[in-house]
């Protein structure tokens, strides 16, 4: 691997949420995140084929407001926890700021909009992938 190697990610869609700022967003989905919509670009409609209400999906987001230079942080912003490498945290601030969210599909609207339960990403967050969750491995 060359240190200069890099890859280009193209958003497949965007999160629509009542969460408007990171100050509003819980650290984790189980801490009270609201339902949200995932609006896909029309070019990716075929990649949703057979997605149904009740499916459990992994949503990958690009945490566009993150600081990519952060290597250590106090988890959950709690300064009583020692500084910890970001690879042992869920901090959005990390070299490649990709969010991993497990959701349940609660409905489909048209060909490209997926309604999901608790999602802690703010309105306007780019979505970069969806995958089915693996029950057997507890995922993911």
Contact set with its own copies (CB under 8 A):
1, 3, 5-14, 28-30, 41, 43-44, 46-51, 55, 57-58, 60, 62, 64, 71-72, 82-90, 94-96, 98, 100-102, 124, 126, 128-132, 134, 136-140
Nearer to its own copies, 9 or 18 (CB): 9
Nearer to its own copies, 18 or 140 (CB): 140
Answer whether 98's CB lies under 8 Å from 91's CB: no
Question: What three-state secondary structure class fits 54?
Answer: coil
Cα–Cα distance, 38 to 81 (Å, whole number): 34
Nearer to its own copies, 22 or 75 (CB): 75
Cα–Cα distance, 27 to 122 (Å, whole number): 11
CB 92 to its own copies: min, Å: 10
Rg value, the chain, Cα: 16
Residue where the block lists tokens 């959005």: 92
Tokens representing 103 are: 């959701």
CB 31 to its own copies: min, Å: 10
Count the residues in the chain.
140
CB 29 to its own copies: min, Å: 6
């Amino acid at each position: 691997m060359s240190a200069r190697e890099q890859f280009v990610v193209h958003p497949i869609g965007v999160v629509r949420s009542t969460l408007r700022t990171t100050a509003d967003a819980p650290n984790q989905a189980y801490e009270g995140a609201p339902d949200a919509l995932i609006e896909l670009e029309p070019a990716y409609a075929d990649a949703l084929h057979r997605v149904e209400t009740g499916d459990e999906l992994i949503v990958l987001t690009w945490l566009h407001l993150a600081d990519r230079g952060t290597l250590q942080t106090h988890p959950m912003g709690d300064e009583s926890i020692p500084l910890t490498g970001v690879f042992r945290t869920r901090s959005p601030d990390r070299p490649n700021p990709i969010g991993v969210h497990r959701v349940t599909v609660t409905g489909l609207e048209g060909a490209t909009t997926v309604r999901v339960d608790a999602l802690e990403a703010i309105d306007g967050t780019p979505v970069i992938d969806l995958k089915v969750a693996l029950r057997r491995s507890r995922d993911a």
